[in-house]
């Protein structure tokens, strides 16, 4: 049974009808008392006995005048209440519009802060792109700026604000105090109004930016500020369009937690509709509401333009008729006519009241029908409880949302459900109900019949009768399980993306011995790692956005441009000359002279590669530089020493020494090229493999953002339908799935790349699984393998892990795979035969295991097979081969790994490299292991290997 139908209880649905009934009873009582008064009044008044002929007229005039005045006063009170309700509705609507406009206006600062905290910095291009988009969406935004270290480095638009660029905000005490307050509180601060340099008054929001540092406290980066035009802001919110209201905005002084609207204290005046000055107190009878904006709390005060009269109007139709009737009934000679007219007036009043009662009852029935229709169509459900907090009504939609029939709920308290899950503070909630307080968005969880978890959010308010007796609670509820799951999925995806970016940055920062610099297609620096800062003395923020040519010796770059222009037959200057070879060939390795920040010069070996998107279009360039100054100095010193020795030795040894020196120099250059090519391949693999999942994430996030904007527009326009919300939830679930999948792929790739980079740059001994090393190598070579269409097969079956050196072993596998891709298969590939490379591992005995790398390619002739492990022997000299790959394989397998190697190959039958390796590699110090893993090839060929 609904709460409204319970006997001796109350509800808003029945209150108006009871008031009508009570007014009828009061009318009957008044009429009966008026009929009895003439009979009893003359007995107590001697003077009225002398004027017996006049007392009925006087009494009638007094009663009728009082009745007319009372009715006029009642009508005036109803008009005042109606006017105040109308004003309150308009003010509530204005508050929602101002708060929504405030959140939309200062959203760009929140986005900019989140972007800086995620990346640790921001480029001018990204700042300008975000500010341009915000300017298009928010015409009332005057400017937006970013101040790293409290120095205004970025500002948009720049026109009219050139004087503010690079301004140290600490030189402005009044504004810097606001920045210090925002930094101290750790949240945005909104202040105003303030006079703008371009004219008019404005509002300014300052948001502090803190960069996370892992376990360490967040580092203060600077602040982000946004200036909005106050007049345009007010016009966009609709405040200036309310011609029938006095409106004013104040800063809100800190009120009590449960402050009533009349207890809100106004601070300084922000804006007034009619330009009024700061009042001492708020106008009497005004409606005051608190506004919550990003970084501030305001007070909106409103009052009607025309104040209601304290007394009823004397020129109204009802007043005139009543006064005329009073005068007409006052005559002693018309006593009978007066009484007859009085009876007619009473009958007319009763008829009017009866019609009003019927009209009110019809309106109540219509309102109840409309209420039931709305509750049946809404996604939220309606519930009611009695004074004992037991359910008396719950709408039908609740059964569909919770899968619990209404009969099992009615008559019970909410917390008596056996399916409730722990974790909800029911004690505090029950205490609030016992205090008869309203509550909003109280959340709890239930166990579903399928074993899942259902999250529910409820809001309610107490119900009292006309005597202020507590009747129970009425409220709404909704199922928020999907929203909870979506929030958790979004948090997980954001965490995964942040971790992936952190790991990628760690990979770049770990290369301390190399300067890694990335540029866009115009030569502006976009990446400058820690190794580059250490090598060249610049900080990243000093070079981002500047041309990369500032690092080069101008004369050397001009000489290279002149030589390249003559060679290619076109005029190449500056950056175009620097990247011309890499743009056409994909990469280039060359020695250059860099200029440090202090002006000193530095010789480097630079590998310059072109960075392309999946479609093959250039996106920028990546340079990896290694300091070879000491090496070059040592080489020059060695040349000088050799020259002195050559003068003392015999002429016959001169030619031999010179040839040996040239051979060693060539060998060092080849080894250096091999290492730089491997590092370039690693970085190119990282960029290529991570581009796809990160691109998917960016596309999905932008699509989800656009869907949220469409849903917001439908909601604000009052046109949102349930089908639109269901489509949005489906799209959100799909987007979260794509984000989770892409972030998982990126996380796995970064883990592989990090492991390979650590292992191959250090010969550290550890216990590892052979299958993990094979998987890491294949992940790094995946772009090359995919491009070559060669299929790789793995059959790794070892009963125990290996105690050895995963870095040299990974280099051995990499060299064998690259050798097979370069030499084993003819170009073009035979379409009728699938090219395959097989990696196998099997146990031999308790101490050794076998490992082989084979292909089904064109095989080797006998003379090639005999010289395969010789240094500098290659069948493709000048076409990508150096002749050191298999020689390094032989040195690693027989040296640091302590094993043996055998080569089997016949023309047309492919090739197979078979290794016999120990589970526990021979002991060696870290320095010896590193030397053996990176030792240059011997000048004499090794003996033809055979497995024992």
Q: Do residues 145 and 131 make contact, with C-beta atoms less than 8 angstroms apart?
A: no
- 785 inside domain: yes
Residue 211 dihedral angles phi and psi, to the nearest 5°: -90, 120
454 and 584 housed in the same domain: no
- 391 inside domain: yes
562 and 451 housed in the same domain: no
Residue (of 598, 546, 548) closest to 577 by Cα position: 548
Q: Strand locations in 600-729, DSSP E?
A: 601-612, 618-627
450 and 504 housed in the same domain: no
Rounded distance, CA 803 to CA 807, Å? 12
| pTM of the complete model | 0.33
Rounded distance, CA 851 to CA 843, Å? 9
Task: Select from 703, 720, 736 the last residue of a domain.
Answer: 703
Rounded distance, CA 674 to CA 872, Å? 13
Instruction: Please name every residue paired with 290 in a beta bridge, in sequence order, or none if there are none.
Output: 299
What letters, b where the CB count within 10 A reaches 16 and e where it falls short, cover 598-627?
Answer: eeeebbbbbbbbbbbeeeeeeebbbbbbbb
Q: Do residues 913 and 852 make contact, with C-beta atoms less than 8 angstroms apart?
A: yes
Rounded distance, CA 887 to CA 812, Å? 10
Residue (of 581, 671, 591) closest to 621 by Cα position: 581
Looking up tokens 């309310």, which residue turns up? 242
DSSP-derived 3-state class of residue 33 = helix
Q: Do residues 613 and 619 make contact, with C-beta atoms less than 8 angstroms apart?
A: yes
Q: 3-state SS of 372-416?
A: HHHHHHCCCEEEEECCCCCEEEECHHHHHHHCCCHHHCCCCCHHH
Q: Do residues 114 and 535 make contact, with C-beta atoms less than 8 angstroms apart?
A: no
766 and 685 housed in the same domain: no
Give residues with Cβ within 8 angstroms of 881, minimum separation 6.
Answer: 822, 823, 874, 875
631 and 509 housed in the same domain: yes
- 872 inside domain: yes
Rounded distance, CA 228 to CA 192, Å? 10
- 35 inside domain: no
What letters, b where the CB count within 10 A reaches 16 and e where it falls short, cover 827-848?
Answer: eeeeeeeebbbbbbbeeeeeeb
Relative to beta strand 836-843, strand 791-796 is parallel
- 97 inside domain: no
451 and 566 housed in the same domain: no
Number of domains observed in the structure of the chain: 4
698 and 566 housed in the same domain: yes
Residue (of 529, 517, 494, 516) closest to 212 by Cα position: 494
Question: Exposed, middle or buried, 796 (CB in 10 Å: 0-12/13-18/19+)?
Answer: middle
Q: Do residues 820 and 802 make contact, with C-beta atoms less than 8 angstroms apart?
A: no
DSSP-derived 3-state class of residue 740 = helix
793 and 649 housed in the same domain: no
Residue (of 145, 140, 154) closest to 175 by Cα position: 145
CATH code of the domain in which 561 resides:
3.30.450.20
Write the DSSP assignment of 63-126 as a string of letters: HHHHHHHHHHHHHHHHHHHHHHHHHHHHHHHHHHHHHHHHHHHTHHHHHHHHHHHHHSS--HHH
626 and 774 housed in the same domain: no
Task: List the structure tokens of 105.
Answer: 């206006």
- Residue 4's pLDDT is 39
Residue 273 dihedral angles phi and psi, to the nearest 5°: -65, -40
- 740 inside domain: no
- 185 inside domain: yes
Looking up tokens 């890694």, which residue turns up? 516
Sign of CA dihedral 267, 268, 274, 277: positive
Residue (of 470, 436, 438, 476) closest to 456 by Cα position: 476
Q: Could you state, in chain order, the average pLDDT of each consecutive group of 10 residues for the chain (948 residues)?
A: 41 39 44 43 49 59 74 78 84 87 85 86 88 84 90 88 86 87 89 81 91 88 91 84 82 67 75 72 79 87 66 58 67 58 79 86 79 66 90 78 73 85 90 92 87 89 92 90 87 83 71 85 90 88 90 89 87 87 87 90 90 87 88 84 80 66 61 56 60 75 81 81 81 78 67 52 79 88 82 93 91 90 80 88 95 93 87 67 78 91 92 95 65 45 44
Task: List the structure tokens of 215.
Answer: 């376990």
Domain with 587, as residue range(s), is 496-703
- Residue 799's pLDDT is 92
- 692 inside domain: yes
Angle formed at CA 223 by CA 220 and CA 224, multiple of 5 degrees = 145
Q: Do residues 617 and 641 make contact, with C-beta atoms less than 8 angstroms apart?
A: no
Task: List the structure tokens of 618.
Answer: 């250039």
**Torsion angle defined by CA atoms of residues 282, 283, 288 and 292, in that order, rounded to the nearest 10 degrees:** -40
Task: Select from 209, 235, 261 the last residue of a domain.
Answer: 235
- Residue 10's pLDDT is 43
**Torsion angle defined by CA atoms of residues 639, 642, 647 and 650, in that order, rounded to the nearest 10 degrees:** -140
Task: List the structure tokens of 49.
Answer: 């006995």
Crossing angle (nearest 10°) for helices 926-933 and 806-819: 10
146 and 210 housed in the same domain: yes
Q: Do residues 301 and 287 make contact, with C-beta atoms less than 8 angstroms apart?
A: yes
Residue (of 274, 254, 261) closest to 300 by Cα position: 261
Whether the link from the prior residue into 248 is cis, omega within 30° of 0, is no
Task: Select from 418, 445, 464 the last residue of a domain.
Answer: 464
CATH code of the domain in which 861 resides:
3.30.565.10
Task: List the structure tokens of 864.
Answer: 């090639």
421 and 521 housed in the same domain: no
861 and 927 housed in the same domain: yes
């Amino acid at each position: 049974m609904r709460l409204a139908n319970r006997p001796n209880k109350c509800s808003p649905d029945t209150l108006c009808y009871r008031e009508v009934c009570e007014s009828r009873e009061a009318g009957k009582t008044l009429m009966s008392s008026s009929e009895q008064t003439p009979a009893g009044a003359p007995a107590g008044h001697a003077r009225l006995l002398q004027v017996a002929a006049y007392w009925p007229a006087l009494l009638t005039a007094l009663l009728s005048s009082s009745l007319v005045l009372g009715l006029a006063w009642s009508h005036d009170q109803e008009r005042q209440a109606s006017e105040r309700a109308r004003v309150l509705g308009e003010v509530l609507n204005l508050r929602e519009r101002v708060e929504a406009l405030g959140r939309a206006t200062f959203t760009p600062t929140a986005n900019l802060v989140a972007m800086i905290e995620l990346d640790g910095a921001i480029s001018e291009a990204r700042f300008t792109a975000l500010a341009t988009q915000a300017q298009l969406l928010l015409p009332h935004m005057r400017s937006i700026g970013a101040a790293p270290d409290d120095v205004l480095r970025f500002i948009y638009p720049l026109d009219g604000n050139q004087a503010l660029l690079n301004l140290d905000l600490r030189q402005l005490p009044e504004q810097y105090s606001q920045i210090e307050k925002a930094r101290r509180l750790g949240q945005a601060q909104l202040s105003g109004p303030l006079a703008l340099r371009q004219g008019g008054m404005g509002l300014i929001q300052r948001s502090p930016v803190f960069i996370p540092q892992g376990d360490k406290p967040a580092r203060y980066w600077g602040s982000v500020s946004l200036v909005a035009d106050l007049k345009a802001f007010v016009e966009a919110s609709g405040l200036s369009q309310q011609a029938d209201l006095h409106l004013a905005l104040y800063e809100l002084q800190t009120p009590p937690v449960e402050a009533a609207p009349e207890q809100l204290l106004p601070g300084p005046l922000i804006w007034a509709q009619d330009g009024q000055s700061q009042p001492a107190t708020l106008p009497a009878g005004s409606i005051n509401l608190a506004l919550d904006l990003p970084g501030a709390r305001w007070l909106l005060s409103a009052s009607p333009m025309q104040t209601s009269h304290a007394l009823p109007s004397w020129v109204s139709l009802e007043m005139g008729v009543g006064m005329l009737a009073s005068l007409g009934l006052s005559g002693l000679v018309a006593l009978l006519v007066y009484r007859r007219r009085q009876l007619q007036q009473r009958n007319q009043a009763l008829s009017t009241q009866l019609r009003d009662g019927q009209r009110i009852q019809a309106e109540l029935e219509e309102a109840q029908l409309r209420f039931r229709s709305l509750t049946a169509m809404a996604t939220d459900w309606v519930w009611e409880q009695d004074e004992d907090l037991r359910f008396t009504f719950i709408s039908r939609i609740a059964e569909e949302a919770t899968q619990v029939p209404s009969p099992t709920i009615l008559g019970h308290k909410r917390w008596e459900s056996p399916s409730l899950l722990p974790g909800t503070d029911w004690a505090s909630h029950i205490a609030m109900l016992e205090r008869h307080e309203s509550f909003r968005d109280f959340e709890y969880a239930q166990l579903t019949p399928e074993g899942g978890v259902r999250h529910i959010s409820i809001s309610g308010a107490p119900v009292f009768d006309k005597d202020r007796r507590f009747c129970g609670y009425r409220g709404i509820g909704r199922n928020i399980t999907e929203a909870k799951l979506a929030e958790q999925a979004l948090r997980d995806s954001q965490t995964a993306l942040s971790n992936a970016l952190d790991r990628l940055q760690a990979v770049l920062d770990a290369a301390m011995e190399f300067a890694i610099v990335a540029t866009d297609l115009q030569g502006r620096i976009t990446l400058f790692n820690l190794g580059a800062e250490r090598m060249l003395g610049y900080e990243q923020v000093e070079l981002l956005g500047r041309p990369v040519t500032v690092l080069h010796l101008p004369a050397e770059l001009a000489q290279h441009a002149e030589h390249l222009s003559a060679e290619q037959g076109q005029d190449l200057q500056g950056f175009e000359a620097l990247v011309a070879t890499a743009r056409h060939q994909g990469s280039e390795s060359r020695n250059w002279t860099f200029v440090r920040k202090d002006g000193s010069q530095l010789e480097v070996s630079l590998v310059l590669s072109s960075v392309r998107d999946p479609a093959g279009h250039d996106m920028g360039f990546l340079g990896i530089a290694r300091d070879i100054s000491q090496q070059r100095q040592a080489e020059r010193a060695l040349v000088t020493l050799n020259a002195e020795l050559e003068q003392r030795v015999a002429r016959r040894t001169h030619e031999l020494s010179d040839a040996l020196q040239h051979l060693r120099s060539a060998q060092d250059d080849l080894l250096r090229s091999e290492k730089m090519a491997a590092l370039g391949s690693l970085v190119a693999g990282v960029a290529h493999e991570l581009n796809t999942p990160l691109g998917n994430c960016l596309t999905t996030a932008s699509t989800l953002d656009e869907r949220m904007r469409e849903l917001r527009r439908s909601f604000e326009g009052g046109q949102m339908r349930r089908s639109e919300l269901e489509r949005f939830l489906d799209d959100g679930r799909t987007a979260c799935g794509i984000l989770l999948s892409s972030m998982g792929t990126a996380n796995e790739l970064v883990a592989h790349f990090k492991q390979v980079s650590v292992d191959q740059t250090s010969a550290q001994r550890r216990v590892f699984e052979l299958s993990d090393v094979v998987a890491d190598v294949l992940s790094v070579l995946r772009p090359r393998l995919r491009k070559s269409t060669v299929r790789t097969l793995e059959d790794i079956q070892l009963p125990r892990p290996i105690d050895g050196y995963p870095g040299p072993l990974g280099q051995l596998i990499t060299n064998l795979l690259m050798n097979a891709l370069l030499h084993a298969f003819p170009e073009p590939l035979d379409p009728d035969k699938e090219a395959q490379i097989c990696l196998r591992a099997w146990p031999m005995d308790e101490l050794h295991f076998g490992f082989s790398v084979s292909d089904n390619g064109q095989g080797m002739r006998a003379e090639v097979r005999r010289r395969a492990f010789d240094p500098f022997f290659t069948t493709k000299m000048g076409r990508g081969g150096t002749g050191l790959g298999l020689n390094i394989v032989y040195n690693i397998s027989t040296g640091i790994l302590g094993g043996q190697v055998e080569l089997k190959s016949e023309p047309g039958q492919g090739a197979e490299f078979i290794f016999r390796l120990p589970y526990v590699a021979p002991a060696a110090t870290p320095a010896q292991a590193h030397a053996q893993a990176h030792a240059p090839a011997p000048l004499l060929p090794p003996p033809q290997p055979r497995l024992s």
